[in-house]
Chain A
Amino acid sequence: GQQLNQSPQSMFIQEGEDVSMNCTSSSIFNTWLWYKQDPGEGPVLLIALYKAGELTSNGRLTAQFGITRKDSFLNISASIPSDVGIYFCAGQLGGGSNYKLTFGKGTLLTVNP
Chain B
Amino acid sequence: DAGVTQSPTHLIKTRGQQVTLRCSPKSGHDTVSWYQQALGQGPQFIFQYYEEEERQRGNFPDRFSGHQFPNYSSELNVNALLLGDSALYLCASSLSWFDEQYFGPGTRLTVT
A interface list, Cβ under 8 A from B:
1, 3-4, 6, 33, 35, 40-45, 48, 88, 90, 94, 97-106
Contacts and interface: CB of A to CB of B under 8 A. Distances in A.
B90 interface: yes
Interface residues of B, number: 25
Contacts of A6: 42
B103 interface: yes
A86 B102 CA distance: 16
A103 B42 contact: yes
Given A42-B4, A43-B90, A43-B103, A99 B48 contact: yes
Given A42-B106, A45-B103, A99-B48, 11 more contacts: A3-B42, A3-B44, A42-B4, A43-B90, A45-B100, A45-B102, A94-B98, A98-B56, A100-B48, A105-B40, A106-B41
A66 to B, nearest CB: 19
A99 B90 contact: no
Most A Cβ at <10 Å: residue of B33, B43, B100, B105: B43
Contact of A101 (B4, B45, B104): B45
Nearest to A41: B105
A103 B98 contact: no
B1 to A, nearest CB: 15
Most B Cβ at <10 Å: residue of A6, A48, A100, A102: A100
Contact of A100 (B58, B100, B105): B58
18 contacts: A1-B44, A1-B59, A4-B42, A42-B90, A45-B100, A45-B103, A94-B98, A97-B55, A99-B48, A99-B55, A99-B56, A99-B97, A99-B98, A101-B33, A101-B43, A102-B45, A104-B42, A105-B40
Contact of B43 (A43, A44, A97, A98): A43
A101 to B, nearest CB: 6
